[in-house]
A and B are shown apart, each in its own frame.
Chain A
Amino acid sequence: MTALKNTVPNTRSDDERPVVLKVDHVAKSFRLPTEQATGLKMAFLNWTKGIKGYTEQKVLKDISFEVRQGDFFGIVGRNGSGKSTLLKIISQIYKPEQGVVDVRGKLVPFIELGVGFNPELTGRQNVYLNGALLGFTRAEIDAMYDDIVEFAELEDFMDQKLKNYSSGMQVRLAFSVAIKAQGDILVLDEVLAVGDEAFQRKCDNFFAAIKKDPSKTVILVTHSMDAVKKYCTKAILIKDGEIIVSGNKNDVADRYTLENLKKKQSEPTEQPEGEYATGLNETVPVLHVVPTGEPICSLTEGFDFTVEYDYHGNKPFYVAISLNDIRRGGVPYGDSFDLFEPGKHSVHFRIPMGLFTNGEFRLIASIHEWDGHNPETAQMIAFTNESNACDFSVRDADGLDNFALINKSSMAYQVLDTQLARRQQQ
């Protein structure tokens, strides 16, 4: 496994490529109906009463960015952040309230795969219909038809009605049309997770190829940070209708992970009176691990966290804290600490992360009672569940090569036959 150093795009050369999509101060709001007004009668009644019947919700506020030819542009954001609305505005399905969207070249939108697919038509007819809706003439589709069918691996099924296809086959056909459609700008919304493994690999290759083609531009909306890091050259992160990070894909991906972690913490863990969350009980009604600062750290600074507990027993007790690797699974590290004070307290800790590489980790704490010296007598009386454990991320320029958990500067194989093998230069 060689280290895949990310080639940071040279911003200077960017300026020479033409801008193919320019989104300029775009804003959009929707009217959410509060009154049921789907009939003439209700509309009239509301009108006479002076009820507006809707509330205005700002979905996008002043979005501006540029995409240049050859970019693989990622748009990420949590659910409901306005990504899809933005995509629909780019595809001219929605009209922006303010601002302008300027598209140069043929834009092929895939808000959803298989638009216009009709179960009663055959695969072939559907390809032509779908193609026409995407703006291709019969002759153009004729030219790419064989490619589409081959890519979808559906040669034997094209004259079957679509309703006789399995759902996987339908998706494959739709996706093949999508990526074989020879547009200048390809707009894709959450389409990376389709098909079986072999098909996934094919798509992978396709994206890798299109990334190299300087004449094709791709705009990709996704939740998969792996996809962003792998394919994108640039990305933006949208939150509540605003761009909060723009430019470098790694910054965007990291910030997105951070936003997700933050969201998780702010979720209230309210419990009804007299009931305890999983892992807690009346002896230990409170036990959770929270980050002291941000839920993200670098390799050098280590991660600060706080264990809050409330112990109502009267035996010697201690807390065991284990570090879990979320992505790979397993517990790379763990230790226990005697606690001196019963009652409600917060204890601050720091864990150095210098041994590891970038990743997502979880700290789980559990409270044990014992007689103070014989480990045999120890009994776990409380533990943190999914919602009150602490998730955090390690993000560091030196930890990018995160194939393995432990980084190469902390540990190294020793070559015993130096005449036969040599460690690769970093």
Chain B
Amino acid sequence: MKNLMKHLQEKYHYAVVVFKELVKTDFQLRYQGSFLGMVWSVLKPLMLFGVMYVIFVRFLKFTDGTPTFAISLLCGTCLWSFFTESTTMGLSSIVNRGDLLRKVHFPNYIVVAATNTGALISLGLGLIVVILFGAFSGAHFTWRVLLVPFSIIQLYCLALGVSLVLATLYVYFRDIAQIWEVLLQALFYSIPIIYPLSMVARSYPIVAKLMMLNPIAQPIMDIRHNLLSPEYVPTVWTNTADLGGAIDTPDVPAEWQWLNSPCLNILPYLFTVLVLWLGIHLFRKYSQKFAEVL
């Protein structure tokens, strides 16, 4: 028994060492040869935000008029970039590190976790910018900020679960990369990042509620809600009648009232756990063969 404990500890220790080195290497290599280096982690989401702000908020008037919409857009962009980056890089991580897997034995989930962690570091830098900007643009920090780390962990787990599934599939089917790219695009538009939810809720409150149940939208909305403005950003827990915020929404018919039940609201959280479990299970089952297939 004691031996087993020691064995486990050794194994775990090795995983941590490799994990650290891989994260470090990835980060060192990411902005290799660029003049601004790490600044790009902050600059890129800011520039993307600039583009979106000008197009969607200024020209197309995709705004709900709340003071926090702009900062909420920036926050959403950062969170969404994290999800895109970690899943697309996670997807190809195993194949890209094939040379390693074929020559050394090490717990290969580390490769996926390391790429996701790299993306998480970028997200951290991005969120610092969000908080700084938020202070100047009407964000309302309350005690709820304390809940944000939990949502970030949830988002990370979701991204990790998805990455593990995708990375496993990608080893066998390279088509996945194309499919996932399109799917990400569709997911992006299904989440109220560049447009306010009230735009949907004012005509279709039921659709708006279903959008909130999207397991990726849920943590993103939770983070924006808790970090920036509990008043203006709706979450999955918001009653269908209030999804439009200040704008009046049509009443939801009585037979659709079950949409507001807490049992339903918990689904996206459960889904995250399920995806992570599926990812780990699938990955463990097939990872022993990776060295041979790659």
CB distance from A74 to the nearest CB of B (A): 21
List A residues 122-158 near B (Cβ within 8 Å): 125, 128-129, 132-138
Q: Are A109's CB and B174's CB within 8 A?
A: no
Asked if A109 and B17 make an inter-chain contact with CB atoms under 8 angstroms apart, the answer reads no
Judge whether B291 is part of the interface by a CB distance below 8 angstroms: yes
Q: Give the residues in chain B near A120, CB-CB below 8 Å.
A: 29, 32-33
A88 within 8 A of B: yes
Does A375 count as interface, using CB distance less than 8 angstroms? no
Give chain B's interface secondary structure class.
helix
A121 touching B25 in the complex, CB below 8 Å, given contacts A30-B292, A94-B292: yes
Residues on A with C-beta less than 8 A from B29 are: 118, 120-121
In contact, B291 and A136 (Cβ under 8 angstroms):
no
Closest Cβ–Cβ distance, residue A99 to chain B (whole Å): 15
> Would you give the shortest CB distance from B97 to chain A, in whole angstroms?
9
Among residues of B, the one whose C-beta sits closest to the C-beta of A41 is B175
Which residues of B are found within 8 Å of A63, using beta-carbon distances? none
Task: Summarize A's interface: helix, strand, loop or mixed.
Answer: loop
A43 lies within 8 A of chain B by Cβ = yes
CB contact between B105 and one of A43, A92, A128, A138 (< 8 Å): that residue = A92
CB contacts (< 8 Å) of A211 on chain B: these are none
Expressed in whole angstroms, the minimum distance between the Cβ of A116 and any Cβ of chain B is 5
Interface size on A, as a range, is 20 to 34
Query: A30, A115, A136: which contacts B99 (Cβ < 8 A)?
Result: A115
Cα of A132 to Cα of B102 in the assembled complex, Å: 16
Contact B291 A88 (CB under 8 A): yes
The answer to whether A116 and B292 touch across the interface, beta carbons within 8 angstroms, is no
Kindly report which residue of chain B lies nearest to residue A114, judged by CB atoms.
Answer: B103
Which chain B residues border A38 with CB–CB below 8 Å?
173-174
Q: B13 → chain A, closest Cβ, in Å?
A: 8
Interface size on B, residues (CB 8 A): 29
What's the least CB distance linking A92 to chain B, in Å? 4
In the complex, residue of chain A having the shortest beta-carbon distance to the beta carbon of B14:
A135
Distance, CA A38 to CA B178, complexed state (A): 14
Q: A129–B25 contact, CB under 8 A?
A: yes
Taking the nearest CB of chain B, how far is it from the CB of A19, in angstroms?
A: 17
Task: Kindly state whether residue B18 has any CB partner on chain A within 8 Å.
Answer: yes
Q: Is B132 at the interface (CB under 8 A from chain A)?
A: no
The answer, yes or no, to whether A40 is at the interface (CB within 8 Å) is: yes
Indicate if the CB atoms of B104 and A39 lie closer than 8 Å.
no
A121 touches B28 (CB 8 A): yes
Q: Enumerate chain A residues within 8 angstroms of B17, measured Cβ to Cβ.
A: 132, 135-138
Task: Find the residue from A94, A115, A132 having the highest chain B CB count within 10 A.
Answer: A132
Q: Any chain A CB within 8 A of the CB of B231?
A: no
Identify B102's interface contact among A93, A134, A135, CB under 8 A.
A93
B100 close to A (CB within 8 Å)? yes
B interface vs A, CB < 8 Å? Answer: 13-14, 17-18, 20-22, 25, 28-29, 32-33, 99-106, 172-176, 288-289, 291-292
* Known contacts A121-B28, A134-B104, A135-B17, then 13 further A-B pairs from the complex at CB < 8 Å, ordered by chain A residue: A38-B173, A39-B175, A40-B173, A43-B172, A93-B102, A95-B288, A109-B105, A115-B104, A116-B100, A118-B29, A120-B32, A135-B18, A137-B13
For this complex, 28 residue pairs linking A to B, each with C-beta atoms less than 8 Å apart, are A30-B292, A38-B174, A40-B173, A40-B176, A41-B175, A43-B172, A91-B104, A93-B101, A93-B102, A93-B103, A93-B105, A109-B103, A111-B104, A115-B99, A116-B104, A120-B32, A121-B25, A125-B25, A128-B21, A132-B21, A132-B22, A133-B100, A133-B106, A134-B104, A135-B17, A135-B106, A137-B17, A138-B17
